[in-house]
Amino acid sequence: MIDRLFAKRLIDKISQFTEYNINIMDDDGIIIASRMKERVGTFHEVAFQLLKGEEDSRVVIRDDLEKGVRCGVNMVIHVNKRKEGVVGLSGDPREVMPVAKIVKMSVEVMLEHEQYKYESLKKYNLREQLMQLILYNAEYTREDLSRYTLPLELSEEMVRIPILIEYENGEGRLEKLRKLLEDNGAFTRQDLVDVTRGGFLIIFKSIDCPVGDLMQNYKFVLAEYLTPFLQYTRKAEIGTGIYIGPMQNDLMYYHQAYQYCLWMQKNIRKKGSFYFYDYIERYLESLASLSESHALFLMLKKELGGKFIDNYQETMGALIENRYNLSKASDMLHVHKNTFVYRLDKIRETLNMNPLSSHTDREFMEYFYTYLQKKY
């Protein structure tokens, strides 16, 4: 049986590519979706006869309003060789027949795809189904979400923060690691945990505190929640990279929040804990197109030479990572502070810029660093 909401979405999609009126009838011959809204819910005699008989299509050469049909072409929709409904296109049959065949095929393909997704998800419990929907379907609707949030009694407006965990040397311990997150005393029924297709752990951790205190307290709340997990991984010598995305209070944006975590995992790739809010500028810089980036920096990259570029990437990377603290940056590179300053001076002299004293110079040098980090 074709779902009414799904049929309406099909009509909306297909209507972008044709001006003909399209109707979709269910297995009782009732029009459940149509470009002519007034026809929804009415009986379609020809569709009913097709579904109960042996024919797979029928051409109507004139309107018969008593039977609820109009001039056009009607074709049975098959899914796995079973009649599921009828699609009809109104108009001169000679004109609409080729379009009707394409629409019929499109509807059948989309229905088969939906059925495949449904069958694939049946093996997961409701929470896992919801997570699979959020992580891998960028076009889900509120209706899709409600099918899970209502029976699970999940608040769609509660503030949750995505946490993506990458781990090394933890082969065979995935269930243990997941159990540490779910058996934690700070874990609630409003939290969502799953394992991604890439083998990472993903949590949407709920935060229940006044809005005015969120920015002040969320790092402490997450640190307290993750402490037992991190104590175990350190003792077991399991290296972890923890990528914490932006807060969300609307499930419609969870997929994008997960993408932000993936961006951090791909572009930071270090052990430790990292917050997306600390990397917003770097993320926005990464959105520049290839042609835009080349137009800005390719000449500099070519003319400055490999030796300068290597020193620039290493030195600026350490400065950015340590918020321009010279002592911490030199420690990160395992060099004396004076040596680090000498390297930085070479950069400042060549570019005639000083990221320590000029905000505009710092912005330019960070953009250039981001460009050099990209793999062209």
Question: What pLDDT band is residue 121 in, cutting at 50, 70 and 90?
Answer: low
Q: What is the pLDDT of residue 210?
A: 75
Of residues 166 and 286, more confidently modeled:
166
Backbone angles phi, psi at 329, to 5 degrees: -65, -40
Q: Tell me, yes or no, if the pTM score tops 0.95.
A: no
Q: What is the pLDDT of residue 119?
A: 67
pLDDT at 292 over 80: no
Q: What is the mean pLDDT of the chain?
A: 89
- CA proximity to 89, closest of 77, 101, 107: 101
- CATH number of 157-285: 3.40.50.300, 3.40.50.12780, 3.40.50.1220, 3.30.70.120? 3.30.70.120
- CA proximity to 35, closest of 18, 49, 47, 51: 18
b/e per residue, 3-37, with b = 16+ CB within 10 A?
A: eeebbbbbbeebeeebebbbbbbbbebbbbbbbee
Q: What is the pLDDT of residue 315?
A: 96
Percent of the chain with pLDDT over 90: 55
- CA proximity to 138, closest of 252, 244, 16: 252
Domain ranges for the chain? 4-121, 157-285, 288-373
pLDDT at 212 over 90: no
pLDDT at 356 over 90: yes
Q: What is the pLDDT of residue 172?
A: 78
Q: What is the pLDDT of residues 140-187, one digit of tens each?
A: 899 999 989 998 999 988 999 999 999 987 677 888 999 999 999 999
CB-CB contact of 129 with 146 (8 Å)? no
Question: What pLDDT band is residue 18 in, cutting at 50, 70 and 90?
Answer: confident
Residue located via tokens 């999940």: 154
Question: What pLDDT band is residue 124 in, cutting at 50, 70 and 90?
Answer: low
How far is residue 274 CA from its own chain's centroid? Answer: 19
Percent of the chain with pLDDT over 70: 97
As a whole number of angstroms, the distance between CA 343 and CA 153 comes to 58
* AA letter at 209: C
pLDDT at 376 over 60: no
Q: What is the pLDDT of residue 5?
A: 84
As a whole number of angstroms, the distance between CA 5 and CA 219 comes to 41
CATH entry 3.40.50.1100 includes domain 4-121: no
As a whole number of angstroms, the distance between CA 5 and CA 8 comes to 5
Q: What is the pLDDT of residues 296-323, one digit of tens each?
A: 888 889 889 899 999 999 999 999 989 8
